[in-house]
Amino acid sequence: MHRILNTIVYILLLLSIAPIAEAKDFVIVIDPGHGGKDAGALGMRTNEKSINLNVALKLKRMLERDMDDVKVLMTRDSDRFIPLQKRADFANRKHADIFISIHANSISSKSPAHRRINGAAVYTLGLDRSDTNLSVAMRENEVMKLESDYSTTYEGFDPSSTESYIAFEMMQHKNMDQSIALAEAVQNQLVRTAGRKNNGVRQAPFWVLVRTSMPSILVELDFICNPAMESFMASENGSTKLAKAICNGVKRYHSYSSHPSSDTPRNEKKRTAEEKPEITDSLEEQILDTPDTKTKDTDGKIIYKIQFLTSPRVLRSGDKRLKGLKPVEHYNDRGTVKYTYGSYQSMSEANAQLKTVKKKFPDAFVIKTCNGKRIK
């Protein structure tokens, strides 16, 4: 009798486990930057490719140990050269749910700060106006020149020409919201778990992120040109902490991306409604001739603008979400694109125009800017 009961219990257990085993794995592609003939940035005693690989291998083991439903794949697990395009192709082919490229940062030895600079930053794809972010991406993209036919593979793109990057403004990632959420979760842990200085979540045009079709981030662990940071990243303890930090960030991201908040469908509905073409009215013409876009806020002067919309990415001119409002300007605030209208010398001038903008964007409000940045 006992034996029969045991068998029944066993069968029931199997039945209850079966659907779980069939559930789709969460596929993570880890991309240790550089490898083989491409050493990446150089330190005093080691190089970027070795640090990246070591942290990546530890990260893989931790993710497999800590997460049940996960499949972790690597673009390389040894010291091999893999072209940028192949790394992205691999992630796409494996239908990865997320893509994490691991790198160590560096600045020119000509810069007086190169032995002192420190901190971690996580990048998502985007074109920030900042020269610093662009130069990090240019350095990381430079590796494509090691491929003999790089201009064919990368469609004439020249990683060291600033002009080449202008086209990136159009190439915004469709997974921008999730990429930013993942970047924020990982960056937060690099500070908390690995004790890195917080250099923030940033946007820059990294080729490897352009070509991936899932939420993707590029982690710059810390600066290899700073000998103290190099020692940390190359040490057993340091590399474990860095891997642990990324692992914690991924777990956080996964826990909230697999339990989306209940108001998501409502938001989506709202967005569709907003995208419906609007019947344009005379309001548009009224607005058209008022703003003085010639007012340049470059010389430390306080300029008032009307902020009316935020977006995870830069919108094309004429996008329906702008509701015909023009001319508009945008600025980047920690990975979010914020749209403004008009430039006014005084708060009262801005408030006068605000009423008109509010007819289209009820949540619009006036912001104070200086040298193109919002100030409080």
* Closer to Zn ion by Cβ: residue 50 or 340: 50
Minimum distance from CB of 208 to Zn ion (Å)? 10
Nearest to 122 by CA among 202, 67, 56, 185: 202
C-alpha 352: how far from chain center: 37
309 within 8 A of 321, measured Cβ to Cβ: yes
Residue with tokens 């199997």: 14
Minimum distance from CB of 50 to Zn ion (Å)? 12
Site residues, Zn ion (CB under 5 A): 33, 40, 103, 140
Minimum distance from CB of 278 to Zn ion (Å)? 46
Half-sphere exposure of 360 (CA within 13 A, CB side): 27
Specify the pairing of strand 336-344 against strand 328-333: antiparallel
Cα–Cα distance for residue pair 101/99, rounded to 1 Å: 7
* Closer to Zn ion by Cβ: residue 103 or 313: 103
Minimum distance from CB of 332 to Zn ion (Å)? 23
Minimum distance from CB of 251 to Zn ion (Å)? 25
* Closer to Zn ion by Cβ: residue 38 or 184: 38
* Closer to Zn ion by Cβ: residue 55 or 366: 55
Minimum distance from CB of 48 to Zn ion (Å)? 5
Q: Which helix (H) or strand (E) holds 100?
A: strand 98-105
Q: What strand order describes the sheet that includes 198-204? A: 70-74, 26-32, 98-105, 216-223, 120-125, 198-204
Any idea what the Cα angle at residue 107 is, between residues 209 and 226, rounded to 5°? 115
Minimum distance from CB of 218 to Zn ion (Å)? 8
Quote the tokens at residue 33: 């930057």
* Closer to Zn ion by Cβ: residue 42 or 283: 42
| Nearest position to Zn ion, beta carbon | 103
* Closer to Zn ion by Cβ: residue 69 or 142: 142
Provide CB contacts within 8 A for 373, sequence distance 6+.
Answer: 331
* Closer to Zn ion by Cβ: residue 31 or 140: 140
190 within 8 A of 91, measured Cβ to Cβ: no
Minimum distance from CB of 67 to Zn ion (Å)? 26
DSSP 278-296: P---HHHHHHHT---TT--
Cα–Cα distance for residue pair 48/77, rounded to 1 Å: 15
* Closer to Zn ion by Cβ: residue 32 or 249: 32
Nearest to 178 by CA among 55, 339, 60, 313: 313
